[in-house]
Amino acid sequence: MNLLTTIILPLLIAYFIGSIPTSVWVGRIFHGVDVRNEGSGNAGATNTIRVLGLTTGLPVLLFDIFKGFIAVFILKYFDSGLSGDHYVYLQIGMAAMAVVGHIFPVYAGFKGGKGVATIAGAGIALYPWAFLIILGVFILTFIISKTVSISSITAAICFPLIVILITNETSLPLILLSLAVGVFIPITHRKNIKRLIKGEEPKFKFKRKAS
């Protein structure tokens, strides 16, 4: 097995896919705005919708999800020679590299978003049924709270419980990954949690017209 072409190359490709700074490029090209200098300062779909409107933010959201999905999906086109848990570990590695790319994009000065949408895309590829359930949790929490950060954190914490208890996942790597997601998302939302505690986290409002 050639380590370079079967493991390292797929991981690098996943990182470069994740690094595509959708919100930054779309904001600059179509609005002359760097979303990292507006709103929450986050280069993600939520801030893009808040700053530039749903028409701009929704495609950003969908593409950021797609990045995570395709970064995992393309592994099937590499002859890795791996099987079983070893193959799953490489899938997880590619998902992780895509998320790292989104957070630290090489094309945008290594200043990106929180990676929630990209994690969701990887989740579609790795846990299709659990993802559908967790999407329902996110939507329900958002309807009640009107706050994206609360919805993201709640969904992340519930994710390993759904994977283990509801979808009865038996793959140890996927169980461990679900636990990691349950910890990682709250960590990336530390500032949001502080604002929530202080009662300063803003409710989400759609911008009717992009500037």
Expressed as residue numbers, the domain containing 21 is 1-115
Whose structure tokens read 């000065």? 109
Query: Does any domain span residue 210?
Result: no
Q: What's the pTM value of the predicted model, to 2 decimals?
A: 0.82
Torsion-angle region of residue 61: left (phi > 0), alpha (psi -120 to 50) or beta?
Answer: alpha
Query: What is the C-alpha separation between 9 and 185, in angstroms, rounded?
Result: 27
Residue 27 near residue 34 (C-beta atoms within 8 A): yes
- Residue 137 and residue 188 share a domain: yes
Helix (H, G, I), strand (E, B) or coil at 81: coil
Last-in-domain residue among 115, 149, 174: 115
Query: Does any domain span residue 121?
Result: no
Q: Which among 141, 152, 143, 144 is positioned nearest to 193, based on CA atoms?
A: 152
Query: Does any domain span residue 136?
Result: yes
- Residue 163 and residue 97 share a domain: no
DSSP 78: S
Query: Does any domain span residue 30?
Result: yes
Query: Does any domain span residue 92?
Result: yes
Last-in-domain residue among 71, 89, 115: 115
> Which value, in Å, is the radius of gyration of the alpha carbons in the chain?
17
CA distances from 187 to 18, 29, 124, 182, 184 (A): 20, 31, 22, 9, 5
Last-in-domain residue among 48, 83, 115: 115
- Residue 150 and residue 67 share a domain: no
- Residue 174 and residue 100 share a domain: no
18's enclosing H/E stretch is helix 9-18
DSSP 189: T
Q: How many domains does the chain have?
A: 2
Burial degree of 192 (CB within 10 A; 0-12, 13-18, 19+)? buried
pLDDT at 167: 94
- Residue 87 and residue 13 share a domain: yes
pLDDT at 211: 44
Could you tell me where the DSSP H helices lie in 104-209? 116-126, 128-145, 148-161, 172-188, 190-198
pLDDT tens digit string along 93-136?
999 999 999 999 999 999 999 888 998 999 999 999 999 999 99
Query: Does any domain span residue 103?
Result: yes
39's enclosing H/E stretch is none
Query: Does any domain span residue 78?
Result: yes
Q: Which among 76, 98, 77, 99 is positioned nearest to 88, based on CA atoms?
A: 76
- Residue 160 and residue 104 share a domain: no
Question: For the chain, which ranges sit under pLDDT 50?
Answer: 209-211
Q: At what angle do helices 190-198 and 148-161 cross, to 10 degrees?
A: 120
- Residue 135 and residue 111 share a domain: no
- Residue 201 and residue 132 share a domain: yes
pLDDT at 166: 95
Query: Does any domain span residue 211?
Result: no
